[in-house]
Each structure stands twice: as structure tokens, then as C-alpha cells.
Structure 1
């Protein structure tokens, strides 16, 4: 076969693409000309599109203009200027679009080097990121050829962030950035986004590409008339282009047809990677008046896709692949005339898109993004505040700490200490509603402390020391339920510290640091009274110092046990096995546990890793998988497999206790539905556990509405069964029985085959033989999943785990969060309300299942879940009964499917 579609590669030299999106009018357009001065907005003469300066979307970069030798009459106005980024690793545009989350956009970035810096550089190479995820690599190989990156992408946020990432291979730059809102019904995929591979106006001999206003979505159509063994056709008549894809009539007015020496048209291309998958869109319109009996077959990779196809006269028909062409070294599209056809096949235009695997890294909560952007603008913060505040993990904003436990990362700590910020305390800070720590110390802040800081309901630490704050300290700060530290020293407050705060300080619930209020002196002369006051103060300070010394001695005695624990860690020899570690440190969560196997010491010894090995397997802790109560979990690689490495925070004594409990437990029990331990590290203060890696992360992530691939009903039941079997083993397969005590959807992990395994055993407890069916212990677990009876009586039983599992079952059934994202109603309350209102179980089933649920099994699972969350423990089924019922439901569902 001839080199029919080598044209794809020729075009790809100048066409670099990602995804497509647009809108019928400019209300869905964002058009940014990079490098033009602020305020110099304009309407493009050629297109009528309104362009604005990029100065309002980014606060870094240098404006530049391409060299005059690269100016030409046909060059788009947006390509004459650019913004370059010689400083910083990551520079990001942040764009808030009027129609954002859930909408489909074509996002296009344009690049023309044009020797703007006079260095005649070639092979400039840098990365583009879309939000927190890698988008593509930009490689400049020709100073005079524009490069375009396009991607068709459904937004997961109201903010679009496009970042240029420096790879030390030349200075990143950008000429234009454009967003085009698309109809959500077009360019559908089964998964992932679409990267433009090629979009061709076939048969056209024009020198300019076709775009807006001819194309209402402002797609770029490249003229191409170099397909072997074809000739061009054209018409001056207007063609009806009114299908959902709306290809421009101007594009449809030209076409190619096979010459008389061949029976068809053949187009082919070779993917850069054999694993690449593609979607095809072919646009046909009959433009020859004498078109009698034109009929042909359409083949994709040798398989008949459309038979005996006859294009409509002066009207468009779009033939598209409903699923991606699978991986192959070479793809081919063939148009072959049928035996009854007189005329040769014809085609007007083609679009090819490469599938970009679904982007799953979540962007920060929109409300937090908007708030922190306003704080950044208010104070003119530079640092590395570019792109998403919480991602990628390696580029989290300096001074910002994020919580990744939920569907969307949230900002829980803001440290702007010693940042040379001025003015009043920004009101936007109170919009960071998840803040636990706020440090604004050692700046030049003035004015009063805002009373609305009391809206930060989760605030634990507030440091405003060493500023120039005046007025009074709000008394309502004492109402913050979790506030433990309040530092106010070295300011100029005009009133005393409120009694409410002083009272909390006196009872020990608040670490309050402040300067004694001193009213302005009436005279500079030192009176006898003042002198007496000074002497009294010295005496008082002496007494306080003595009391502090006594308190310290007493506290040291109380903390002796904790110190011995930490000391024992530091003094452990490198070759000490985990069994010895456990024996040195004593009891685990109040109950003695010993490893049962006589060969366990050797087994544990073989599983020990040095800290240097941990560094090697995690590539110096490069990728964070998550953060928990006592430390951070990293992705690692050892023994030819991925692992998850949980490292204990050196300062976490409680974390060490949980580590100790979890490590000893996992070393002594084994089950297919419990997470397995690969090894551990105990070296000085470096303590960690290495687990098997669970590729599909946690159940709560899979149930999230951010996951485009909703779990099927069958998958959900299998996951529920796996988790229940893991619990059954803990309750009835272990002696003594083990209570997990923290069953929740985020602690149910899924491997690459979606097999579920219970994880996070740091709070687990045993039910010692002979001590009855419960153990009395302090309350521990996760709110919302916690057994109300356990909370009321402090009595922990197997039924406490059953209650938590029932809550998870309700999440599996409904697809709702534990606490509704919008209505803030707990899932148990919501389900109860729905069932009591209409009794229709179908109303509570996750709507993403689209009705593809076996109704009978669903009713039984709902009834089972409600029994599990009964307030009376005796009314809850044993976990073995739960396992039996889920198995029956699965079997019933499969039988129903088979019979249908």
C-alpha cells in the first residue's frame, strides 16, 4: 500500500494537540494573548474573537515579542507576543470559567518561538500540566512553525490551571491560551480525555487553516491535499452542516475522491506508542452534482464498520468510532467502493484523537482555592504559590498543609510567618473553613484581630505574635472548641486579654501566650508605687519560676513511661527483629499479644529493611499516597513489585503505639481479605511498615462522584463480601478474637482486581478469653462510623464492628458520602428518611448505576445494612450471618442475570 497517511506525521510536526472544547458564541470562550501589556485587550480582526492580556491570570513571567524576521501576513496576531518563564520550576495560569465543573472544554495552548530571545535556540523542551496532572511535553524543533496543544476535557473544578514546568532544557514560554466550551453530547469516550492527533480539511488547497467564525467551536482545521491516489473535489455551494458535531460548511465544501486507477481511499498512521488508543471522526457530504450511485464500505483496521454507505447530497454525515481503536503498531482507515458503485469513495474531513487515560488526581476544593488565591492577591505572596495549592505533592505551596483524606484535598494549615506581609488580617482567611493551624507571626500586620476568626471551627493553633496589632482580642475566640494554642505576644493591644481566654488558660485547656497589658503612663518619672510594682513583679516571677520547676519535675515523672518508649526506639540495634521490639516496648493497646508461630523470629528478621533501603525503594519518598494519623504513606518498589511504605512521624508517641499494635497484628495473622505486610523498618527514629500496594486505592475513592467509572452493582457486592469475610476472620478465625474498631470505607483497600482488603489496624483490640463478650476501653474510632452503644457505655464488642460495616454498606448502596457533600446529612439519617417517606428502595440506590441493579438483591442488602446499624447491639446480625446473606444475594443476582 502507498504512503497514504504519512501525511499524519508531516502534520504532527506542526500540530501538537490535547483535547477539544468550544461553544457556539463567545460566552463560552476564554481567549488569552500571552505577552501583551495589561489593559491592551483587543478584538482579533480575522476571527472577531476578543482577546485579553494574560496579566490577570498569572503573576510571573516576562513579556516578549518574536523577532521581526518571523513576521508574516498570514501569522495569527496572538503569535507575535509571548510570555516566557526564566525563573521558577513551575509557573501556572489560573482561570475561573463561568461554566466550569462538569462541563466539557477544548483547551488549547499555542507556542511560537520566533527567536524572541535572540539565542536561536532549538530543542526547547518543557512540560505542560493541566491542574495537578501531567498534560503533555512541548518540544520546540522549529523557530518559525507554531505548535498547538489541544485537549478535550471535562472539568472537575470551576478553576482551570495550566502550568508550564521547567525541565532545565530551555526556558518555557507560551503564546496563547484558549478555552472553548463544547456541547457535552459530542466527543464522548468510555473513559479518559481526548488529545488531538490530527484534524484535516481534506481536498483543500488553501494556505490558511479554518477556525472561528467558520467553526463555531473554534476548532483548527488544517488544509491537506496530499493523499496518494486521490484527486480534489470542491463546490461553491453552502452545505448543510447541522449535525451535533457541526463541522464547518467551508471545510465540507472540499473533499478527496479516489482516482480511477484505484478502488478506494486508504489512510494509515503509526502511533508513537503501541499502547495508544484512538477515536475516529469522519465527515462526509456529497458535493458532486452528478453523484449517481456512489456507494462504499468503511473499514477500521480491516474490520467492516459501515457497509454500503452513500453520502447525502449537500448534507453532512459523521461516522465515528463508538469505542477506542485498541492498541496496534499501525492503524488504517479504508474506504472501498462496493461492487454496485459506479463512482469512487469520497471524504471531506477527518479528526483523530488519542485517548488520554483518565486524570484521577483531585484538585483542591474550589472554595479553598478561591480563598487562598484571594489571600495571595491581598498580601502579594510570591514563594512557590503556583497552580493548585495541594498538588502535585512535590509542589504543594510553601506554608500550606493539606488534608487528602476526603474526595477533594482541603487546606488545613497556613503558615505565613516572617513573610513580610502588611496590612490587616485578610478577611479571606476565614473562608479557609478547614484550617487547623494559622500562623501569621513576625510580620507587619496592623489593625484589630477580626472577630470572625471564630468561624474557623476546627482551629487548634493561632499564632499572631510579633506584629503591630491593636485594639482588643475578641473574646469569642474562647468559643473555638479545639483551640489549644493562642500566641499574642509582641503586639500593641489596647485592652486586657478577655477573661474567657484567661479562664481556659488557667484550667490548662489553652496554651495562651501574651504580654501583660500596661495602660499608657501619665509620667516618665518612676513613682514609689511603680517601683513597688516592679519589685512585686520580680517576686511573683520568682514564685512562678519555682512553680514551673516543680511542675516540670512532676510532669517528667508522669511522662517517664512515654520517654522510655522513645528511648527504647533510639537504642534499638539495627538488627533487632520486630518481635524483640514488641517485647521491649511491652503491651499493645492494653492487651498482651504474642506471635503464635515458633518460626516467627526468623520470619520477622527476614522482613526487616534498613532506612537506606526504604529511601531507595521510595526514591527518597518521592510520591505520597496519603497521610494518616501518625505519619505519611509513600509509594515504593521492592522485589519487583509496588509497595506502600507507611513512615511514623518521629514526634508521634500515640502513633508509635498504633504502629506497634498494627505491626504485631499483621505479622501474626494472614487472610486474603486483610492487607498483608511486606516488611518493616526500625532504625533510630525511622520507623515504618511496608505493605502490599493496592492499585485501586480505597473504597471511598471508588465510590466518589469524582470517579468517572462507577462501580457496578456486582462489583460493589463482591467488595462488601470481601470486607465482611475479612471481619469474619478477625472475629471468629483468630484466638483471641480481634475487634478492628475503625471500619470505614477509606480503610477498605482495593487491589488491581478490585479485591477488597481491610487495612489500618492501629486501633484494633482483642477480646481476651474468659473476659466475656466485651472489653471496656476508651472511645476510639471515626465519627459517623462509631457504634452509639460503644460510645455510650465504653463497652467494645464484635457488634461494634458490625455497626461500622453497616454504615459502609449504606455508602456502597447509595454512593453517598458518610456525610452528604451538599445537604450535610449523615447517610444513616438520609436512608431512614427516604425509606420512611416512600418505602421505595430504588430511591436510595446510587443513580450512577443507571437502573442496572438486581432489585431483589438490592432490597436484601438494604435490609441487611439497616439491621447492622440497629441502635440495639443484640438486634445486629453476627458478621458470619452478614457474610452468608451477601453470598446469597450475589448468587441470586448472578442466577437472575444468567436466566435473562
Structure 2
């Protein structure tokens, strides 16, 4: 049995994982769980790689490319859980109840879990103290197992726990003081154990269902508990004036001898007056014969894996030329940034009108710990020895030359504050990946850009160069980067939250009332502020930054009509080969592209100017760059409008009806003249953005 297990472990560690849709860290975690369970016959499951989210593994549920639930109750499973559950990045529900799984509940658990069901199994040992890290937990059932020992004093942080079932085990000792922190607890079943002491720690909870039957609880029952609708208490020595004292400590002498055992004795007393029998000797010899080869084999396998991993990583480091100036080890992990943001939380129910009309300035006080350089890189401390495709999963604490101007965030923290990157927290689908709202305590808001699957393959050193470059972009009309995350191969950018509304949302909303808020003066103001941001990128940055993908959905506006440009420089700064081709997913881009981009794919500052001209046309007309619902001659905004920009009567007819005549004809003519110069077919005829800014300022 043991050699087969060792062989399976060797193959698992040495065979590359397939690179499918499912996030590779989750694939690694579920592969290891499958190994620990003993390779049960589960449809779709495989021990090496695989694609759980795409291939519909039995009992596996996903949100996008992350495994969010494993539900295999009553599946006749055996084995154990292993020690890699903590590697799941977004697991919310684990239901393995009514099986034959044994061993201990592992210390490493997914901190994103909300529902944890292991009832009716054969688990032994204690509940791990790491339970305190499951701060999102709402339901947990560990009943009908062989668990024992005292309950861990680890409940203080579980303020969201609603239902807890620990019944039918062998728990002993008193209820820990931290159970006073279970402020949401409504159902608690702890019957049929050996628990003792009083129930005082439970008296302030909103309990509706409490079962403490068949334990050793004593003392008076708190009056508040007697008001619980469903309170079962039989089988306890209640109503005694003095609680029975705890059991005395075990005797220091052996029961068969009043003298202490000899110092060199390594076996306990036997029925022969303390002398070991021949049967015992034979059993020990047999045990050594069976276990000895297995231990030796495991040591050999482990040594081979470590050597192979070390050689592979050294070769990769040499080939890629990665410089590791500073490495943060696990015991030197930077602290989570402490962020103080004064901001009024928007109403997420309405992404267009949900912004606060009064907003205070952000005040960021970010504290971080910068790791000191290590004299030598120790592979086993910084590399997770699992091959995935053509690269290693690096330890989440490994950071290569981290930038000092922004803060590193842990993926666990970002998962917690984005509700595990849920659809409810999705702000928009950005050009390089989805953007999520991160809600920190006391109304602190950030936004997290989660680079899509292709761009998440960006090497660590290149990603940090990207972070450093973007962090140096500082302008009042550009969204500010404040942090990043590269744990477990993730590539996440953390920015100040400004608004969930884009100019595209407001201009093309079906709600006429929303569009009417954009007066003609407000539209000129928005164009000017966006132009200032583009001028800074082109002429204030060295080297200049070309947006490439500039459209009205990149321009964020709030209820005060302030402007921030998002995703500045992301597309052009990513190395060649890592930029996702967006033509299939965001066809609207083609309507913003300059002619030379469509012809040769050549981007420049002047191609950004062309895109800005299209945005000005949107502001003037209220039309989309391309609208298939219009007659064919009017579908392409530039083609339809370009010939009318110098005809004042045509301009007035072209004006967005929502402006309703509230505009100055002279300013309209000047605005149209700027558009005309920006959308020239030849790039050499388009003005620089500094000139556009000056001209727009004159229009106002």
C-alpha cells in the first residue's frame, strides 16, 4: 500500500499540469485532494492536471475560472483531506459529509470558506486552531465524527457564524472564552460529548436552537438561555451549587509499581509486571519490516523531487536571466497595507446614478514592511515544488525587486474584500480583465483589476516593472495605482476607487434624465479634463505613454462630473505577446481606431488623438461610434459626421437632443473644428494634445 502511495505522489509531483481554463492554483489543490482521498471513482476527476471548471468534474462548481464549491456528500469517499486545502483561492463551500473520510482536519484551510460540512465521517483528533482564520464562515457541521480533546479558543473572529454543529463526538473540557464572540450564532448543537463547566459564554447570543444534552455541564443555567425557543438540556448535572472539579492529573507512577520506570525504558508496563512479552517483540519486528521500507522509499522520493525541482529552477533562472535582488520569505511577509480612505460608499444597486454627490478627498496612509536582501536564495523556502505547464508556481511571499511607491496586497485579503471576486462586486469588464470593487471596513473602497488568463502569465519581474511604471503616473485626472498582488501566480492591480460610471454609460443610457445632466458646458468640461490626462501621458511622461485603446468607457465620471481616465498605459506597457487580442470581445474598439491602426496596427500619440476626436463626437452628438440600429449611411459616426462639421446648420441638427438648445453656437463651431482636426485621415495632420487642450480651454 505504502509503495503505491509513494509512487503516486512521485508521479503527481513530476508530471506537468495541463494548462486549461481553471486557475492553476486551484487545479493543484484539487489534484492533491484527489490524491489524499485515494483516487476515488468520480466522473471527470483526474489526478494529474485536468480542467475542473471546463470539464464538469462531479461535485465541482466554479465562478469563472476559480473553483468555488466542492459538494460530494454521500459519495462513499475514504482516505484523508491532505494538507493543501489552503491552496484553494476562492473556495466558498465544501460539503464532504456522510462519507468514510478519516485522519485529522488539516491546519491549512481555505480562508474564503463560508460553508464547511464534514459531518458523518471518521475524522479524529482536535479541531485545528487555524479555524480562527475562516473569518467568512457562516455554517459548519463536524458532527458524527471521532473528534476529541478541548475545543480550540479560536472563535473570536467568527462573528458571521450562524449555524454550528459539533454533536456526537468526544469533545471534553469547558467551552472556550472566545465563543462569546459568536455574535451571529442562532443554532448550536453540541450534544453527546464530554463537555463540562457552565454555559455562561452562550448567554448573549441570538440563539434560537440550542442542544447541550448528554454532557457534563454543571452550575445554574443562565436565565437568558431559558428563553431560547428550542433549548434541550437533559443529561447534564445542572442545578448544583458548585460545579464538579475537573479530573485530577494522571498519576506520575505506574499502576503496577510504586517506583518510577527506569530512565532507559522505552516501553510502557505490560501484564507481565512491566516486562515486554515475546508477542510484543514479534509485533514490533513485523511493524519495522513493513514500515521501514516505506519510510526509506518516501525519503528517496522526496530527495529526488527536491533535487529535480532545484535543478529545473536553476536552469530556468539562468535561461530567463531573472535577477532576485530581494526575496520576502514567509516569516518576513510584508504587513497588509493600512489604508485610511474618507469616502462615501456608492449605492451599488444603480451603477449609473449610484455615486454620492458629496465626496471627500482620499487620504492614504500606507505602511509596509520591505524585506531585507538575503545572502542566498533557498529554493525550498521560495518555490512551490509543483510543475504547471512550463513554469513553477512561486510562493505567494516571493517578490522580485518590489516597487516602494505602492503596497503589496495578499490575494486572501483581496478575495475577502471583493466577496471572492463575485459578480456583485464586478464594476466593469476592462480591456485587460474584469475590475472589482473591494470594500474594506468603515467604507474604504478600492478597485481591483484582475488581469485575464493570458495576461496573468506575465513573468514576475516583468509584472513588477509594469507596476513600477504605472505607479509613476501621477495626474489629477488619472486613476491612481496604490498596490498590486502576485500571490500564487495572480496578477492583480489595486487602484483608488473613483466611480463605477463611465462616460459611455451616461451618454448612451436609456434614461433621458441621466443624459440631460450633461449640459453643453459640462460636456466641454469633460472633454477638457480627459484631454489634460492624455496630454500628460504624451508629453509629461518619459518615454511617452500611448493609450492605444482610448474610448469613452475608459473615462470615469462621478456625480460632480469630475473625470478620471482609467487603464492608463496598461496595453502599451505590457510586453509584446502578452496583450490580449480584444477584437473578438470588444468590437467597439474598431470604431475608435485611427486609419493607420486598422491598416498596419501602428499605434502612436496621433492615433490616440484620433480616438479622442471620436469621443468628442460622442459628446457632441450623443451617438455611439458605431450603431447598427441606424440607417446604413449613419451607422459609422465618423463617416456620417465628418462632412458636416463645418456646416453650422448641420451641426445644430447633429447636436444631442438632450442638450435641448442650451448651447452657444460659437462654442459649438469651435468644438467641431477641434474634432475635424483630430480625425484627419493622415496622422501628420492631427494636432498634438497640448494644442487640443489649449483650444478646448478657449471654447470654455
TM-score class, shorter-chain normalisation, is 0.3 to 0.5
TM-score by length of 1: 0.31
**Structure having the larger proportion of residues in helix:** 2
**Structure having the larger proportion of residues in strand:** 1
